[in-house]
Amino acid sequence: MIGGLIYLVIYIIVVGLILWLLSYLVDVIPMQPQFKQVAKIAILVIGVLIIILLLLNFIGVIDGGMPRLGRL
């Protein structure tokens, strides 16, 4: 249980960093404001879905076994 919790925390940190980096890149790259808004919303939705899947896997609703870094 503790091992799974450690993996969950590591996953959340890694996913958060990747999503932050993508959001930062969307802000830095010059593009139309409408596209920026759509891209940021898409990044947010994908991030929330990944976190929900990780939490479902952690509590055992999705039986994928022990989480590994190569498999979300």
Q: What is the pLDDT of residue 2?
A: 80
Q: Residue 56 corresponds to which amino acid? A: L
CA distances from 67 to 12, 19, 20, 50, 56 (A): 12, 20, 22, 13, 11
**Higher local confidence (pLDDT), 65 or 52:** 52
Cβ proximity of 7 and 66 under 8 Å: yes
Name residue 37's beta-bridge partners. none
Query: What are 3-56's pLDDT values in tens digits?
Result: 778 888 888 899 999 999 999 999 999 989 999 999 999 999 999 998 888 888
Domain ranges of the chain: 2-59
57 burial type by CB count under 10 A (0-12 exposed, 13-18 middle, 19+ buried): buried
Report the predicted TM-score, pTM, of the whole model to 2 decimal places: 0.73
